[in-house]
Amino acid sequence: MRNELILQGIAASPGIAVGHAFLYEKEDFWIEERTIPAEKVEEEVDKFLEVIEEVRGELREARKRISKELGEEPAKIFDAHIAMVEDQAIIDETVDRIRREHKNAEFAFFRTLRKVVKALKASQDPYLRERMYDVLDIQRRVASRLMGEPSPSLAHLESEAIVIARNLTVSDTVHMHRQHVLGLVTELGGSTSHAAILARALGVPAVVGVQEATDLVEPGDLIVVDGYRGVVHLNPDQEALETYQKRRQSLIEQEARLSALKDLPAETMDGHRVSLEANIEFPEEVSLCLESGAEGIGLYRTEFLYLVHPHLPTEEEQFRTYWEVARKMAPRPVVIRTLDLGGDKLGLSAPPEANPFLGWRAIRVSLRHRDVFLAQLRAILRASRLGNVRIMFPMVTGVEEFLEAREMVEKAKAQLRQEGAEFDPDCPVGAMIEVPSAALTADRLAREADFFSIGTNDLVQYTIAVDRGNDRIAYLFDPFHPAVLRLIYETIEAGHGHGISVGLCGEMASDPLATPVLLGMGLDSFSMNPKAIPEVKEIVRQSNLGEARELVRKVLRMDRGRDVREFLSDVYKGYWSHIKKEVL
């Protein structure tokens, strides 16, 4: 028997699976550049258009099948794929390249999609980087057909197995043999990839981001996939297997307990109620939000709309997307964050920046390119007539910037009134507090904004001067750092002092250790990954606001983040012993 080994990755789909490894190896994909004789160019164009139509038909059939088997929401994953092969700008640019440069169709298509792939790959947002694999999936599907090469498939897997792969696309996942695939392990990808979303819909445990998995695993190895903790256990002994079986049963019981909380309010034992909301990026995620008991969308990221096409999205394209989310969530609130990208990602004139985090991005880009900003604001306002929609500006640094952006909202309203378009004239406009300057002047901003949402991911980075993507200093990234906790507390106090609500939409919102502290600080809403809502709700419902406030008084007097964590861990041992093993 081979040596036992434990690999760590990212939990992508819950569940625990035990089985033998199947290595799914796709050959490296190389697209050759060829020059087409002038007399063959139109024939090459016709071949390209014919393949695009074939792929479009296949995607529609796959969507129809998934809708029938799993429901409409998982099927909507295919909408983005279908949109790419129906995007006239992509088709026209590819055809133009074939005709103008006399290049083979697969290479011309590759060149057209390359700038989309590059923009997604360079994004600082992990959600957007995941979308790169969807574009590459379409690229490979179309190019394979043009080159006459068969695409690899998991459809013919002959026995039950744990699939190990470098990466799995939507095409791989949707065509896999459902009865034979017990679990999925990949080296690439994240929990927000469409393949991961489909795995969750199919109920298949999955762990992604497992470095060197295809090198370390041999075909036939006995493997445990722990989709809760993001662990892959190679060749476990009998004692470990029995432990996993007991834990699987315990987690099934826990899920049943948490699911019973879905329709109950997030209310403390002494009657204080907060709102638990979800962070999303795509309309298809709404169903998971509702299934998890989300009381609204606290952060709707809009960046993907600007990256999936070679052109900027039109107002109408944006409106349809925002409308779909607002309609499904109504009457629950939907907070739509305006564009949070660098100008270079939008094809706008922008020189290279040494530090994009501190550069030309987010509201700074929007205020410089007001035509782009205005189109987005008009689309959001038009969607507001169909639901409880709110507008939020990212990376606001102070009052002047916020007021300038708010003037653009008023301009969009004036245009829509003149055109006779319907919208909510009282649509709330808020500021994301993710820069220390905004937190330190929150009392001034609160006079102008209708609400605040604290973005702790960036607030921690900017406050402590630490790039959490830098492995050498990532250990310094600490939301419990006294400076961060003080800024959060003062922001909440400033907002409440002027009668506006304050939410939090960073990863800290889903950290069970942070829940009692944020409660005690008076946070009104917690916005997080939908999967985290049931656990946070359970903690809220077992909390007492008076005791939480006392926790805050003690925490704010501490000197080190380590002290805060140790203190809160002890609190868990006293109050939530039945779940402490999963959060500590």
SS3 state of residue 58: helix
Does the annotation mark 194 as catalytic? yes
CB atoms within 10 A of CB 252: 12
Question: Cα(527)–Cα(570) distance, rounded to whole angstroms?
Answer: 25
Between the CA of residue 335 and those of 15, 299, 377, 385, what are the distances in Å? 31, 5, 13, 14
β 231-234/5-8 pair status: antiparallel
Q: Residue 427 carries which DSSP code?
A: -
CB atoms within 10 A of CB 263: 7
Question: Cα(205)–Cα(198) distance, rounded to whole angstroms?
Answer: 11
Which residue, 516, 574, 575, 579, is CA-closest to 549? 516
From the list 81, 233, 481, 505, the catalytic residue is 505
Question: Cα(302)–Cα(349) distance, rounded to whole angstroms?
Answer: 21
Question: Cα(456)–Cα(508) distance, rounded to whole angstroms?
Answer: 7
Beta bridge partners of 24: 165
Single-letter residue type at 318: Q
Residue 242 CB-half CA count within 13 A = 3
Question: Cα(334)–Cα(389) distance, rounded to whole angstroms?
Answer: 5
Q: Residue 166 carries which DSSP code?
A: S
SS3 state of residue 447: coil
End-to-end CA distance of the chain: 33
Question: Cα(99)–Cα(525) distance, rounded to whole angstroms?
Answer: 55
Single-letter residue type at 111: R
CA dihedral sign, ordered 576, 578, 583, 584: positive
Write the DSSP assignment of 215-265 as a string of letters: HH--TT-EEEEETTTTEEEES--HHHHHHHHHHHHHHHHHHHHHHTTTTS-
From the list 156, 175, 194, 498, the catalytic residue is 194
Question: Cα(89)–Cα(347) distance, rounded to whole angstroms?
Answer: 15
Beta bridge partners of 525: 275, 503
* Cβ burial, residue 447 (10 Å; 0-12/13-18/19+): exposed
Q: For tokens 């999963």, name the residue.
A: 582
Quick check: 567 and 517 in contact, CB under 8 A?
Answer: no
Which residue, 408, 363, 383, 409, is CA-closest to 318? 383
Single-letter residue type at 175: H
| Two tokens, residue 495 | 């907002």
Quick check: 421 and 382 in contact, CB under 8 A?
Answer: yes
Element (H, E) at 413: helix 399-419
Rg (CA), the chain: 25
Q: Which residues are catalytic?
A: 194, 505
